[in-house]
Amino acid sequence: MRAAGCRNAVRCAGAECGGGGGNPGQSASQACAWHTSLLREAARRGTQVVVLIDAPGFNLTFARLAKRAGLSVVYYISPQIWAWRPTPCQACGTLCR
């Protein structure tokens, strides 16, 4: 995606994005800070579409917030996410176009 001109506003991986480990309260507060930062950056850039990839623990919440903010949401879902559990799949149908 970077080769096509996309730029990350926030980079996170694994436990940093709520993928496990660490203090759950700390992960939730960090995720909330990232959600807020991303929405502010989207407004500053005039973003119309957000592209989310994997990380359902973080991205499903952000997708809901982005949709409320009037952004279109595209969510790439790998086969592992579909196998994870049915709830994210149902949520994606509601949150994404």
Span 23-59, pLDDT tens digits? 445 577 888 888 999 999 999 999 999 988 877 778 8
Question: Are 9 and 41 contacting, i.e. CB atoms less than 8 angstroms apart?
Answer: yes
65: number of Cβ within 10 Å: 17
φ, ψ of residue 30 to 5 degrees: the values are -65, -40
pTM of the model as a whole: 0.69
Q: How far apart are CA 30 and CA 50, in angstroms?
A: 20
Q: Which helix (H) or strand (E) holds 51?
A: strand 49-53
Cα 76 versus chain centre, distance = 10
